[in-house]
A and B are shown apart, each in its own frame.
Chain A
Amino acid sequence: MPDTPALALTGLSKHFGRPAVDGLDLTVRRGEFYALLGPNGAGKTTTLRMVAGLLAPDAGRIEVLGIDLALEPIAAKRKIAYLPDDPMLYGKLKPYEYLEFVAGLWGIESQAAEPRARELLAWLDLEKHAHELTEGFSRGMKQKLALAGALIHAPELLILDEPLTGLDAGAARQVKDLLLSHVQQGGTVILTTHILEVAERLAGRIGIIQHGRLIAEGTLDELRAATPGATLEDLFLRLTGPA
C-alpha cells in the first residue's frame, strides 16, 4: 500500500514522573527524509525509542508501514532499523562478525547478506579494519559500523538518533551520502540532530518538538513562510526559546 505512511504516531505519550512525550501526533511519508528537531529533553529520543520497540508507550498508537507495533511487534521490527547516538556494538567482535550477527537477528539469507555486507564495509571505508576488534575503533568508525549494521537488512524505515555527533567531516559526508542514497532507493529516514544545517540540507520535512509535543512541522520553505529571510536556526530558537 504505497499510501500508507512509513510512520504514524497517534496520541503517543510517555511519562517519567513528568511527561516526556505528551500526546504526540506525527506522520512521516514513505520515501521521506524527516528531521525531528527539539531542544535537550524535548522527547526526541524517547519518541524514537518507543518507535524502535525499546520503550512501551503509556498511551497512543505506533504504526510502522501500516503495521501496529503493539499488535505485531516482530513484523514491524523487521522493517525498521534503529541507530542510537551511542552505537550498539560489541567491543570484542570484528566488523564482519558484527554484521553476521545483526544479519542473523533480522534473519537475512546469506546470499543477500554477504554482498550487502561487503558493499557497506567498502562504502564506509571499513574494509581495511575488518580484522580488528571494534573496541579499538574511533567514535566515527564505530558510528559507521553501527550504520552498516542498521542498513544490512535494507530497512524500509531507518531511524537515527544524532547520527553525526562526533564524526569528522569525511565520516559525516559518508554517512550523509549513505542516508541520501537510502532515500533515493525508496527508503524512509527519520533522524534527530542538533546540527541544524544537516536538517536544512538533507531533510524534506522538519518537525520541531518541545515538551513532548509537535510545535511546528513542514518543509523548510513552509516553516520560513511566516518569517521571510529567517534561517532554520532563527526559527528554531524563536519556537523553542523562552516565551
Chain B
Amino acid sequence: MSVQPGSALWLLRHELRLFWFSLSSGKQGALRRPAWRVLGGGLLVWLALHAGVFALLDAIGPMGMPPRQFVIAVSALLLSTFLFMLSSALKRSVETLFDRGDMDLLLSSPLPSRSIFTVKLAGMAFGVAALYLFFLAPFAHVGLLLGQLRWLALYPVLFALALLAASLAMLLTLALVRVLGARRTRVVAQVVGAVAGALLYLLSQAGNLMAQSGGVASSASARVMASLQSVDPGSLLFLPARAALGDGPAVAVIAALGLLAGLLTVRWTHRFFVRGLQQAAGSARAAPRAGPVRYRFDRGLLQLVIIKEWRLVWRDPHLISQILLQLLYLLPICFVVFRNNQLQLTIVAAGLTMLCGSLSASLAWIILLAEDAPDLLQSSPARALTVRMAKLGAAVIPVGALVALPLLWLIVRAPLAGVLAALTMLGATVSAALVNEWTGRPATRGEFKNRGQRGVATRLLELCSVLAWSALAWLLQRAATGAPASLAFAAGLGGAAVIAFGILPLAWLLRHRVR
C-alpha cells in the first residue's frame, strides 16, 4: 500500500515498524534483526493458547445470556485490565515526553503537531493493548472458527480500553506538567503509574482481609457484593463487560467512547503536547539554590561511599517508587498480624524475612551493580575491597533500619520468636546482597525494573534465597511455638535450611561463570 510521505498514516507505519523492531529484538535501540528464537517461542505459546481456548470454548458451547456472576467476574477482570493499561500508558506517556527518542527530529520537521500527537497516542494505545491482545485474541479467533462471533468483540473493546487509557494517561501527564512543572511530573507520573498497577491487588487483599476479619469492615464488603448482585444487568456499570461478551450495542458504545476520548484528547491537547515537550527538554536542570557551599572533606572512604550511594538512591524518587512497589505487595502480610487482634508469629517472621531479602536484593543490585562511574572507582587508588564493603553496607543498613522497630516490638512481645526472626532476617538480607555481589552483571539504573532479564541466574538465586529464608523463618517459628513434630515437618525444616545456607556457596562457586 502506498502511503503519502509525511502523512499521519505514513508516520504511524514508521512508529509500528519501530515498535516491531523493539519487540522482536527484545530491547529498544537494539539491532533490527528479529530475535527469531524469542519470536518462535512466542508464536508457539500463542498457538498453545489457541488450542487451550479451543478446548474451553468447544466444551462451553455457544453461550446465551451470561449469568450475573460471570458478568461481575468479567467486569472485575476488565477493571484490573484497565488499571494495568493505565499504569503502562502512564509509563509510555512519560517516556514519550521525557525520553524523547525521535521527538526532536519529528518536531523539527514540517509535520503538523496534530499528526505527530495523533500517531504518538495511537502508538501508545497499540503498545498498551498488545500484551492483552496476545492473551485474549485467541478467544476471538477460535470464536470465529466455532461460529461464536460474540468473542470478536474483544478486539474493539481492548482497543477502546487501550485508547481510553492512553488518552487518560497523556491528559494526566500533560496536566501534571502544567500544574507541577516538567521536572516533578516525571516522578509523580511514574509513581502514580506504579501505584495504579498495584491498586487492584491491594484492594483485593484488603477485601480478603476485611472478609476474614468480620465486624464492620466485613459487612461493608458484603454490602458491596450484595449491591452488585442487585444491580440491573442492563446498568452502565456492566457496560464494558457486556461489550466484551459480545453485546452489539454495548460494543458500539465502548468503541465510540474510546474513539471519542482519543479524538478529543488530540483536538484539545496537541498544542499543549508540544509545549509539554519543550518544557520537558529543559526539565533536568533545577533552580540553583542560594547560599554558600558546605564542604565535607573530612569523611573517611567507607563513610563517603555509603553517603554517596544513599544520596544517589534518595534523589531518585522513581527508583524508590519501584523498590517500594515490591514492598507494597508484601503489605497484606503485615496486615495479617493484626487480624482478630491475634499475633501470628509465624507469618510476621516469614513476612519480615521476605521483606528484608527483597529489599536487600533490590538495594544491592542498584548499589553494587548499577554503579554510574565504575571507571572512576577502578582508576582510583581506593582499595576495591573497601569500596565493595562500603557498598554492601550501604545496601543492608537501610534494611536493618526499616525493620528495626517491628523486630524490637517482636522481641519484646515474644523474645524467642524475636531472636529467631532476627536471625532469619539477617540471613535473608546478607544472602540476597551477596548473591548480587558475586553473580550480578554490571548494569544501569534504568534497567532495574527488568533486571531479571539481564541476570537470570542472579535473579533465580536471589528468589530462591528469599523464599528459602522466609520458609525457614516460618518453620522455625512453628517449631518454637510447639508445632507437633513429624517427619514431614523435620524434612521441610531441613530442606529450607539446606537451601537457605546452600545458596551462598553456590553463588560463590558460580561467581566467575555467571559474570
Q: Which residues of A contact B (CB under 8 A)?
A: 52-54, 73-75, 77-78, 80, 82, 84, 88-93, 96-97, 99-110, 113-114, 117-118, 128-133, 135-137, 149
Nearest CB of B to A94, in Å: 8
Residues of B contacting A130 in the complex (Cβ-Cβ under 8 angstroms):
288, 293
Scoring B residues 23 to 61 as 1 if CB is less than 8 Å from chain A, else 0, what string do you get?
000000000000000000000000000000000000000
7 pairs, A vs B, C-beta closer than 8 Å: A52-B379, A77-B380, A93-B311, A97-B308, A105-B382, A113-B297, A129-B288
Q: Which of A88, A101, A117, A133 contacts B286 (CB 8 A)?
A: A133
Nearest CB of A to B85, in Å: 30
**Residue on A nearest B302 in the bound complex, by CB:** A104
Given contacts A74-B383, A92-B312, contact A132 B285 (CB under 8 A): yes
Residues of A contacting B447 in the complex (Cβ-Cβ under 8 angstroms):
none
Nearest CB of A to B9, in Å: 37
Check: B513 CB closer than 8 A to any chain A CB: no
Residues of A contacting B381 in the complex (Cβ-Cβ under 8 angstroms):
73-75, 77-78, 105-107
Contacts A101-B304, A101-B305, A118-B295 supplied; 13 other A-B pairs, CB < 8 Å: A74-B381, A77-B379, A88-B375, A89-B373, A92-B316, A93-B308, A97-B311, A104-B301, A104-B382, A117-B295, A128-B288, A131-B291, A136-B286
User: A218 vs B301: C-alpha distance in the bound complex, in angstroms?
Assistant: 42
Q: Which residues of B contact A (CB under 8 A)?
A: 284-286, 288-289, 291, 293, 295-301, 304-305, 308, 311-312, 315-316, 372-373, 375-383
Cβ-defined contact, B301 with A107, below 8 A: yes
Nearest CB of A to B381, in Å: 4
Residues of B contacting A53 in the complex (Cβ-Cβ under 8 angstroms):
378-379
**Residue on B nearest A55 in the bound complex, by CB:** B378
Residues of A contacting B288 in the complex (Cβ-Cβ under 8 angstroms):
128-132
Looking at B289, B312, B315, B379, the one whose CB has the most chain A CB atoms below 10 A away is B379
Cβ-defined contact, A110 with B284, below 8 A: no
Q: Which of B299, B375, B378 contacts A100 (CB 8 A)?
A: B299
User: A131 vs B299: C-alpha distance in the bound complex, in angstroms?
Assistant: 20
User: A77 vs B378: C-alpha distance in the bound complex, in angstroms?
Assistant: 9
Residues of A contacting B379 in the complex (Cβ-Cβ under 8 angstroms):
52-54, 77, 80, 82
User: A74 vs B382: C-alpha distance in the bound complex, in angstroms?
Assistant: 7
Q: Which of B297, B298, B299 contacts A117 (CB 8 A)?
A: B297
**Residue on A nearest B294 in the bound complex, by CB:** A96
**Residue on A nearest B287 in the bound complex, by CB:** A132
Residues of A contacting B308 in the complex (Cβ-Cβ under 8 angstroms):
90, 93, 97, 101
Looking at A99, A104, A110, A117, the one whose CB has the most chain B CB atoms below 10 A away is A104
Nearest CB of A to B463, in Å: 29
Task: State the majority secondary structure of interface residues on B.
Answer: loop
Residues of A contacting B289 in the complex (Cβ-Cβ under 8 angstroms):
131
Residues of A contacting B284 in the complex (Cβ-Cβ under 8 angstroms):
133, 135-136
User: A96 vs B300: C-alpha distance in the bound complex, in angstroms?
Assistant: 16
Cβ-defined contact, B304 with A104, below 8 A: yes
Cβ-defined contact, B380 with A110, below 8 A: no
User: A193 vs B288: C-alpha distance in the bound complex, in angstroms?
Assistant: 34
**Residue on A nearest B285 in the bound complex, by CB:** A136
Given contacts A110-B297, A131-B291, contact A105 B315 (CB under 8 A): no
**Residue on A nearest B374 in the bound complex, by CB:** A88
Given contacts A77-B381, A78-B381, A100-B304, contact A105 B376 (CB under 8 A): yes
Nearest CB of A to B291, in Å: 7
Given contacts A110-B298, A131-B289, contact A82 B373 (CB under 8 A): no
**Residue on B nearest A130 in the bound complex, by CB:** B293
Given contacts A104-B301, A105-B301, contact A88 B376 (CB under 8 A): yes
User: A137 vs B293: C-alpha distance in the bound complex, in angstroms?
Assistant: 18
**Residue on A nearest B295 in the bound complex, by CB:** A114
Residues of B contacting A103 in the complex (Cβ-Cβ under 8 angstroms):
297
Residues of A contacting B291 in the complex (Cβ-Cβ under 8 angstroms):
131
Residues of A contacting B293 in the complex (Cβ-Cβ under 8 angstroms):
96, 130-131
User: A101 vs B308: C-alpha distance in the bound complex, in angstroms?
Assistant: 7
Residues of B contacting A89 in the complex (Cβ-Cβ under 8 angstroms):
372-373
**Residue on B nearest A128 in the bound complex, by CB:** B288
User: A109 vs B298: C-alpha distance in the bound complex, in angstroms?
Assistant: 7
Residues of B contacting A74 in the complex (Cβ-Cβ under 8 angstroms):
381, 383
**Residue on B nearest A135 in the bound complex, by CB:** B284
Cβ-defined contact, B376 with A102, below 8 A: yes
User: A106 vs B289: C-alpha distance in the bound complex, in angstroms?
Assistant: 29
Nearest CB of A to B279, in Å: 14
Nearest CB of A to B135, in Å: 38
User: A163 vs B377: C-alpha distance in the bound complex, in angstroms?
Assistant: 19
User: A93 vs B299: C-alpha distance in the bound complex, in angstroms?
Assistant: 16
Cβ-defined contact, B297 with A92, below 8 A: no
Nearest CB of B to A126, in Å: 11
User: A89 vs B376: C-alpha distance in the bound complex, in angstroms?
Assistant: 8
Residues of A contacting B296 in the complex (Cβ-Cβ under 8 angstroms):
100
**Residue on B nearest A73 in the bound complex, by CB:** B381
Nearest CB of A to B98, in Å: 12
Cβ-defined contact, A90 with B373, below 8 A: yes
**Residue on B nearest A91 in the bound complex, by CB:** B372
The 3 closest A-B pairs by CB, nearest first: A136-B285, A110-B297, A88-B373
User: A89 vs B312: C-alpha distance in the bound complex, in angstroms?
Assistant: 12
User: A101 vs B391: C-alpha distance in the bound complex, in angstroms?
Assistant: 14
Nearest CB of B to A56, in Å: 11
Cβ-defined contact, A105 with B311, below 8 A: no
Residues of B contacting A133 in the complex (Cβ-Cβ under 8 angstroms):
284, 286, 315
Residues of B contacting A88 in the complex (Cβ-Cβ under 8 angstroms):
372-373, 375-376
Nearest CB of B to A102, in Å: 7
Residues of B contacting A149 in the complex (Cβ-Cβ under 8 angstroms):
376
Nearest CB of B to A136, in Å: 3
Residues of B contacting A101 in the complex (Cβ-Cβ under 8 angstroms):
304-305, 308
User: A81 vs B376: C-alpha distance in the bound complex, in angstroms?
Assistant: 9
Residues of B contacting A129 in the complex (Cβ-Cβ under 8 angstroms):
288
Q: Which of A90, A99, A100 contacts B312 (CB 8 A)?
A: A90
Nearest CB of A to B285, in Å: 3
**Residue on A nearest B299 in the bound complex, by CB:** A104
